[in-house]
Amino acid sequence: MLINPKPVTVEGSYVKDYEKLYKDSIENPEAFWGNIAKELFWFKPWDKVLDWKYPYARWFTGGQTNIVYNALDRWLKTDVSEKTALIWVSQDGTDKKFTYKELNEEVSRFANGLKSLGVKKGDKVTIYLPRIPEQFIAMLGCLKIGAVHSVVYSGFSADALKNRIDDAQAKVVVCSNAYPYGKKTIESFKNVKEALKDNKTVKNVIVVKRIEGATIPVLNDLGGAQRSEHAHGVKNTVSSDQSLQSYLWWHELVSKQDTICLTEIMEATDTAFILYTSGTTGKPKGIIHAHAGYMVGIYTTLKWVFDIKPDDIFWSTADAGWITGHSYILYSPLINGVTTFVYEGTPDYPDIEIWWKLIEKYKVTKFYTAPTAIRALMKFGEEAVKKHDLSSLKILGSVGEPINPEAWLWYYKNVGREQIPIMDTWWQTETGMFMITPVPSVGLKPGSAFKPFFGIDADVVDDKGNKVPINTQGYLIIKKPWPAMFLDVYNNPARYKETYFEKIPNVYFAGDSAKIDEDGYYWITGRNDDVIKVSGHRLGSAELESAFVSNPKVAEAAVIGKPHEVKGESIKAFIILKVGIQPSDELKAELVQTVRKSIGPIATPDEIDFVEKLPKTRSGKIMRRVLKAQELGQPVGDVSTLED
């Protein structure tokens, strides 16, 4: 099936001839990216577009810029200054709008607040906030002064937060006292308090008061409790000064600050942020992105893939706790000078029509969401969507996991009214920007992410690196660097090399499997490593297994992802209990809590089986692939290396 774009879509499209432009871009990617980079602001132009010393790529070396200069400062002397940069709608339906000028003032105040606490270029700031304007203000505020943010998704538990704060050696944590989540109130500050026990690097905790009221801990009380706990727990080797955090309210900190703050001049390859993501080992990886290359990559991809025009209101339903939120809720829309739209709540609160109501009310023009959300909303039928006037929409998007053709067609028919195209964008935390994606003017096949973006040299190969035949599944690789490519894995360069650049020499190994069809269209078939995608969220088997074994009743655990109708994948665990521990439903419930406590509610296991043995190699490695095949009733394949 090929779905061709409507003439009006093609007319408004930046890219009219994909094949020709792709060919040109790939013949000389450096000229291609260099030309685009000139559209942005530089304190000092670059000497070299690309410095590629395998496996490290450094883009725009010698140049100086700052993402925030391009996202905010650049607009202040133009008409864009008075335009709405951010529309934020709270769960109760009230909204807040910030023009570019206003957003810049808020960001400057916060940035000055950070400075007043002694935060300097290169210092790490962990941001643990829900989807509220302060989340974005904090991110921009960090980059403005050259501090490095590490945003931790608000749904992560205290333990997960602790690991990320510790690994980054954060100096400041920004959080909320609590926040509304549907009918519930999440007491996020408690997690922060727990995460900071014994912490020695964090000096200041800035707390946004998202919820007023008696049920919410009073800051001073908690601050006091924290202090006394520390006073007791202080070890002799640590001076008490080092282990004490001071707590302050966001509004008190920023109210004293000036609305002008000079944006720091950054080297092109200076770190902008770290974002932790799950991989194949138990410990999440800190993915590092730089200012310049990242900026150029995300600017171009959003502009061309979503045909960004000055009047656009772009809504990505992701959260800034993930890369989608960094690249396409916050930075790229602002670098493109358009309005970004954010809804605080979930897709089913206050009811399952909320998204369609908001699109209608705010006249959203570009809408970007995940297959899991489409599949969840599909279940409620077409009526809920049909009631609303969605004619403001011009382009739709999908991201996070493969979109099944059925969900694609439902989205196309009911949200797009068969008039507008869907951009199925394949990319990763590591890639920073869209990599395999259509542009609006091309013919689409439901379920295919089309072909590589301009300048992206992708392929599908076997384990020796040889191209596989048409329609054959193989490993998705990228053969040459791209501008928003990550710089490294924080604190772990060995892992950078091993995971991404040594499985198949000289190329970037994505960890996904794919096929290329007779027309050159890519079909992403899912991960080929031990990463599980639950509702688009990335979790590692090993990370889940270590969560299980943190319960003293568990001897061993093996975790696999199982296909799930709505979530894409669900978590299934096989557990060996310690001698003398009896399996029971209560114990299953307890283990579910163990995992939620260790990672967060997004990691809630769906199924737990108590078993006597697990399939292992002779060297003792659990063969998850065998468990998975068995679970799905597929042939278990070569088990000659199996110990038992």
Nearer CB in complex with ligand WT7: 199/278: 278
Using CB under 6 A as the binding rule, whether residue 301 contacts ligand WT7 is answered as no
Using CB under 6 A as the binding rule, whether residue 420 contacts ligand WT7 is answered as no
- How far apart CA 404 and CA 535 sit, in angstroms, is 13
Buried b (16+ CB within 10 A) or exposed e, 90-117: bbeeeeeebbbbbbbbbbbbbbbbbbeb
Binding to ligand WT7 in span 520-539, by CB under 6 A? 524, 527, 533, 538
For 26-89, the DSSP string reads: HH-HHHHHHHHHTTS--SB--SEEEEEETTEEEEEET-EE-HHHHHTGGGTTSGGGGSEEEEEE
Using CB under 6 A as the binding rule, whether residue 440 contacts ligand WT7 is answered as no
- How far apart CA 599 and CA 282 sit, in angstroms, is 11
Nearest to residue 273, comparing CAs of 119, 385, 126?
Answer: 126
Using CB under 6 A as the binding rule, whether residue 110 contacts ligand WT7 is answered as no
**Segment near ligand WT7 (CB under 6 A), from 319-327, 483-491, 548-556, 605-613?**
319-327
**Segment near ligand WT7 (CB under 6 A), from 26-34, 218-226, 484-492, 504-512?**
504-512
Element (H, E) at 359: helix 354-362
Using CB under 6 A as the binding rule, whether residue 324 contacts ligand WT7 is answered as yes
**Segment near ligand WT7 (CB under 6 A), from 82-90, 507-515, 555-563, 635-643?**
507-515
Number of residues that bind ligand WT7 (CB under 6 A): 22
CB of 360 to ligand WT7, least distance (A): 26
Task: State which residue has the least CB distance to ligand WT7.
Answer: 429
Using CB under 6 A as the binding rule, whether residue 400 contacts ligand WT7 is answered as yes
- How far apart CA 353 and CA 168 sit, in angstroms, is 40
Using CB under 6 A as the binding rule, whether residue 150 contacts ligand WT7 is answered as no
Using CB under 6 A as the binding rule, whether residue 289 contacts ligand WT7 is answered as no
Using CB under 6 A as the binding rule, whether residue 269 contacts ligand WT7 is answered as no
CA dihedral sign, ordered 170, 172, 177, 178 = negative
Using CB under 6 A as the binding rule, whether residue 424 contacts ligand WT7 is answered as yes
**Segment near ligand WT7 (CB under 6 A), from 228-236, 320-328, 625-633, 636-644?**
320-328
Using CB under 6 A as the binding rule, whether residue 375 contacts ligand WT7 is answered as no
Q: Which residue has the tokens 């606490």?
A: 117
The residues near 519 (Cβ < 8 Å, ≥ 6 apart) are: 445
Which one of residues 108, 425, 535, 598 is an interface residue with ligand WT7 (CB under 6 A)?
425
Query: Which segments of 451-588 are extended strands (E)?
Result: 458-461, 474-478, 488-489, 508-516, 522-527, 531-534, 537-540, 554-564, 568-577
Using CB under 6 A as the binding rule, whether residue 402 contacts ligand WT7 is answered as yes
- How far apart CA 587 and CA 609 sit, in angstroms, is 11
Using CB under 6 A as the binding rule, whether residue 512 contacts ligand WT7 is answered as yes
Nearer CB in complex with ligand WT7: 318/364: 318
CB of 6 to ligand WT7, least distance (A): 23
Joined tokens for residue 575: 């557990």
- How far apart CA 644 and CA 233 sit, in angstroms, is 47
Q: Which residue has the tokens 């990550």?
A: 486
User: Contact residues for ligand WT7 (CB under 6 A)?
Assistant: 277, 322-324, 399-402, 424-429, 449, 510-512, 524, 527, 533, 538
